[in-house]
Amino acid sequence: MKQYTFHYGRGTKSFSLDESKVIKEVDMPAVKPLTDIKQAVLDAVYHPIGQKPINEIIKPGDTVTFICNDPTRVANSFDFMPVLVNEMNRLGVPDENMQIVFSLGTHRLMTQEEMAEGVGKEVASRLRMYNSDCNVPSDFEYFGTTSRFTPVLINKHICHSDHVILTGTIVHHYFSGYGGGRKAVLPGCAAMETVRHNHSFMMDPNAGLGRTTGNPVYEDQMEGVALWAKGRSVILFNAILDAEHRFLKMFAGDYIEAHHEACKFVDEVYGVKIPAQADITIASCGGYPKDINVYQMQKTMDNAVLATKQGGVVILLADCEEGSGSKVLEETCRTLKTADAIEAKLRDRFLIGANKAYAITRLTKKAHFILVTGLDRQLAKDMLFDGAVDTVEEALELAKQYVGDDVHYILMPTGSLTVPLYRPE
């Protein structure tokens, strides 16, 4: 027997398994993390992809808006924002000419304390900071409609600066292909109706993880952001992190070209080949904030299913300290009660929050999900999970009723990041 320890919430959970029954432990390939963060940031912006160096773009007295991630996405903005802000100062942009907008999409508003924690106290004390609240119509300006009829309504705070710098990190995304890049603007700084209409394309079979060409969600986002970006100075700064939240590589430059290059690197470090699918996959989201709520946990569900046989079991370690993350998600599950009913309702009328109910429950048709979680037990049942327990040992015992005793495992200690790649001969 071998003991394994996985991240769980703000701590860990340990369990033991017969090592001979473990098909594979799905880990990211070994990539040496960056050690000199400041130099890496400067190297990226002075040697950008598809764009002039930062000192040839930024002029003294210019105005700059930074778009930063909210707490549900690990970005380590507190590491790179001081470097970027101080470099703007050096190039002649005073603090009063800079501001930060947090790309919340449809997520809850951030507190001032969370903002300061996100970008660092020093930067927070120097720059104006705003939430992009998708539910305040007067905060948004209209830039036209995409060919798929998505109204492009973008937060006014990112519409009147000389330069907009899109920051954040990139991981695979289960229906828009990849995070990062254009997502800082749409959905990050878009109005609710813009997000709702764009995300409705997630139900198209061509919308999927790691897919851009032919993906209607991605293509609609790109078209919408292009309408906003026309005639505007837009600069990308995206990073890729490892499972321990250390920087692996930084990309800067044109928001399209630099993002394309970054996505190639994401495929290299997050995609992991597996020799077979498992009877039981044990996956951790990677701890807080990846398992802050069910809304975020769902991304790990999508990855874990790829490692699991049809009808197998996924044991998912997810603390969910903030519960489901969406009252609409909860109410949709309680009211409609089955995956088929949720899908039918969503096809009739797409609603943010209800889309997560669909994203979660559709996966229960492929595998049984048993949560090791702090989530309310009745709520877990309402969302069609097959169990909610306190320990991995309890989950393993419960899994026997679905797959028996003679089983093989795949382990995913960083399930929100790693994408199992199974290619049967």
pLDDT (tens digit per residue) in 41-97: 999 999 999 999 999 999 999 999 999 999 878 889 999 999 999 999 999 999 999
CA distance 330 to 332: 6
Separation of first and last alpha carbons in the chain = 31
CA distance 123 to 114: 13
Phi-psi region of 350 (alpha: psi -120 to 50; beta: other; left: phi over 0): beta
Average pLDDT of 206-211? 94
Q: How confident is the model at residue 216 (pLDDT cuts 50, 70, 90)?
A: very high
Per-residue pLDDT at 73:
80
**339-378 burial, b for 16+ CB within 10 Å, e for fewer?**
beebbebbeeebbbbbbbbbbbbbbbebbbbbbbbebeee
| Three-state DSSP class for residue 97 | helix
Per-residue pLDDT at 423:
79
Question: Pairing state of beta strands 271-274 and 278-284?
Answer: unpaired
pLDDT score of 371 more than 70: yes
Q: How confident is the model at residue 363 (pLDDT cuts 50, 70, 90)?
A: very high
Phi and psi at 163, nearest 5°, equal -140, 145
What mean pLDDT is reported for the chain?
Answer: 96
Instruction: Using alpha carbons, list the distances in angstroms from residue 43 to 32, 34, 168, 262.
Output: 17, 12, 17, 15
Per-residue pLDDT at 425:
60
Contact assessment for residue 352 and residue 328, using Cβ atoms and an 8 Å cutoff: yes
Q: What would the pLDDT profile of 154-207 be if each residue is shown by its tens digit? A: 999 999 999 999 999 999 999 999 999 999 999 999 999 999 999 999 999 999
Q: What would the pLDDT profile of 99-154 be if each residue is shown by its tens digit? A: 999 999 999 899 999 999 999 999 999 999 999 999 999 999 999 999 999 999 99
The domains of the chain, with CATH numbers, are: 2-27+273-422 (3.90.226.30), 37-241 (3.40.50.11440)
Q: Which of 218, 207, 208, 223 is nearest to 149 (CA)?
A: 223
Q: What would the pLDDT profile of 271-329 be if each residue is shown by its tens digit? A: 999 999 999 999 999 999 999 999 899 999 999 999 999 999 999 999 999 999 999 99
* Residue 278: both structure tokens together: 């498992």
Q: Which amino acid is at 84?
A: L
Average pLDDT of 406-422? 95
Please give the torsion angle defined by the CA atoms of residues 115, 118, 122 and 128, in that order, rounded to the nearest 10 degrees. Answer: -40
| Three-state DSSP class for residue 251 | strand
Q: Which amino acid is at 220?
A: D
DSSP string, 301-362: HHHHHTTEEEEEEEEEE---TTTTS-HHHHHHHHHH-SHHHHHHHHHHS--TTHHHHHHHHG
Average pLDDT of 250-271? 96
Could you count the other beta carbons within 10 Å of the beta carbon of residue 67?
24
pTM summary value: 0.89
Average pLDDT of 403-412? 97
The residue count for the chain: 425
CA distance 278 to 305: 10
DSSP string, 35-61: S-HHHHHHHHHHS-BSS--GGGT--TT
Average pLDDT of 331-359? 94
Q: How confident is the model at residue 353 (pLDDT cuts 50, 70, 90)?
A: confident
pLDDT cut 90: percent of the chain above it = 94
pLDDT score of 243 more than 90: no
